[in-house]
Chain A
Amino acid sequence: MCTLEKRGDLFLLTLTGDGEHRFHPDTIATILSLLDQAKSQSKRGSVLITTGHGKFFSNGFDLAWAQTAGSKTGAANRLHQMVESFKPVVAALLDLPMPTIAALNGHAAAAGLILALSHDYVFMRKDRGVLYMSEVDIGLSMPEYFSALVRAKIGTSAARRELLLSGKKIRGEEAVGLGIVDTAAYDSAEGVVEATVRLGEKLAGKKWSGEVYASIRKSLYPELCGILGVEARVFATPKL
């Protein structure tokens, strides 16, 4: 379901197989453990790139699994379980001591889009794939940390409205215009991945301290850190 490879300085996290890469508690646990692995192997110049195979980056939580609980409360509990267990994934990415890049091979919806937005850079395809916060359409409530992440990463109220309230399926060009992704200039999944590898190698070449990088990253998002319980250990008096 999910693999971690090393390519020189780059860690490549891949959501494998041709399905929707929905987040089931097992998938979430695997992603978390792979992020932990990347963290423990990180050194100066490390960079993480996350991508997927096939038509989907990820279509969000495994709602079908929630439904098989057999009752309304059972389903609600399972959904709640997934929402809660996914928080540490966002926290781990916020805390990761290296630059992070999401290479969207395809559609990213709901929790799948949240996974993408938890990265420092998001690259998307021009020709295929949409961003879609489906919650408003399927009547799911938005977890607080999802909204906090959107507020942290997306600056204009118009963009936030389009993303969260309109139920729109946003394609690459529009996503760039709204400031949701950094670039959508690629006509294939390979194109996106190559571009992220190029950026990754450029960032790797800076040989930044992962600890300093992560500390500065967290200090950019104090509200989100607070909600996730991530310690943004920004010193009140600098070590000059």
Chain B
Amino acid sequence: MCSLEKRGRLFILKLTGDGEHRLNPTLLDSIRSTINKIRSDQSSSQSVLITTSDGKFFSNGYDLALAETNPSLSVLMDVKLRSLVADLISLPMPTIAAVTGHASAAGCILAMSHDYVLMRSDRGFLYMSELNIELKVPAWFMAVIRAKIGSPAARRDVMLTAAKVTAEKGVEMGIVDSAYGSAAETVEAAVRLGEEIVMRGGDGHVYGKMRETLFREVLVHTIGFDETGSSGVRNTGSKL
């Protein structure tokens, strides 16, 4: 399902096994509970999260086959992913997606919900498949797309051509931060980046609150975050 490794100050969450890592209720619960464990770890506010995966897929999206057998499960998966993305946005530490395989639809949204997206360039693509497979796109997915992809032309290419975006194209489009020759190199680079970030110091709690402010629109769409946001502001003991 998903494993957690601690390497110094780095938490490495891995979607395990050779399958498509479809975001079914069980996997979503497993990831969320892992994130909760990370959040409540005493070193969390001086740490970094790296999310990666085994095999050919980062994640191929929701479990559509499951949804077909039971339509109420599609609502459940959506609710759970929304909560997970909200958790990632409020997480008191920087987050890095080391995309070592295909990330489609909900799987692509999960990858993009990290602060940094590092990706292998030898295989795999980011793919918002909905136009091709005639899936409705939830409004909250569009909030993530708008938050994470700045260029209107890039957003159009991603959503209105269902582009299969390689790492290199992703870097050009401003969706991917950097590209590496292989899965192993991508993870190594994520670890190096994580260690650099840890070295900078800083308070993860402040970071998390800043990130919530930056992605307020996404939070409003995922968990109906209070528009004023004032309940979320507390004295973080600013050094200014």
Contact = CB atoms under 8 A, between A and B. Distances in A.
Interface of A: 99, 120, 152-155, 179, 182, 203, 206, 208-209, 212-213, 215-217, 219-220, 222, 234-240
B136 A215 contact: yes
A84 to B, nearest CB: 26
Most buried by A among B64, B68, B150, B159: B159
A206 B133 CA distance: 11
Interface string B128-162: 00111011111110100100001111011001110
A212 B139 contact: no
A239 B131 contact: no
Given A120-B156, A208-B131, A237-B138, 18 more contacts: A152-B152, A155-B151, A155-B153, A212-B130, A216-B159, A217-B160, A219-B139, A219-B142, A220-B152, A235-B138, A235-B139, A236-B139, A237-B78, A238-B78, A240-B62, A240-B67, A240-B77, A240-B78
Contacts, number: 80
B39 to A, nearest CB: 27
B131 A212 contact: yes
A234 B139 CA distance: 6
B166 interface: no
B161 to A, nearest CB: 8
Nearest to B158: A220
A56 B136 CA distance: 39
B207 to A, nearest CB: 26
Q: Is the interface of A mostly helix, strand, loop or mixed?
A: loop
Most buried by B among A120, A209, A219: A219
B137 A99 contact: no
Given A155-B151, A212-B131, A120 B139 contact: no
A153 B151 CA distance: 9
Contacts of B62: 238, 240
B142 A179 contact: no
B104 interface: no
Given A152-B152, A153-B152, A240-B67, A216 B131 contact: yes
B74 A240 contact: yes
A222 B142 contact: yes
Nearest to A182: B153
Contacts of B145: 220
B75 interface: yes
Contacts of A216: 130-131, 137, 159-160
A235 B221 CA distance: 12
B131 A213 contact: yes
B152 A179 contact: yes
A234 B160 contact: no
B197 to A, nearest CB: 28
Nearest to B71: A240
Contacts of A154: 152
B137 A219 contact: yes
Nearest to A239: B136
21 contacts: A120-B160, A152-B152, A155-B152, A209-B134, A213-B160, A215-B136, A216-B130, A216-B131, A217-B159, A217-B160, A219-B139, A220-B142, A220-B156, A234-B136, A234-B137, A235-B139, A236-B138, A236-B140, A237-B78, A239-B135, A240-B135
Contacts of A220: 142, 145, 152, 155-156, 159-160
A211 B132 CA distance: 12
B160 A237 contact: no
A182 B157 CA distance: 11
Which A-B residue pairs are the 10 nearest by beta carbons? A240-B74, A240-B67, A234-B139, A235-B136, A219-B142, A238-B136, A155-B151, A238-B138, A155-B152, A239-B136
Contacts of B150: 155
A114 to B, nearest CB: 15
A197 B161 CA distance: 16
A234 B151 contact: no
Contacts of A212: 130-131, 134, 136
Most buried by A among B62, B131, B136, B159: B136
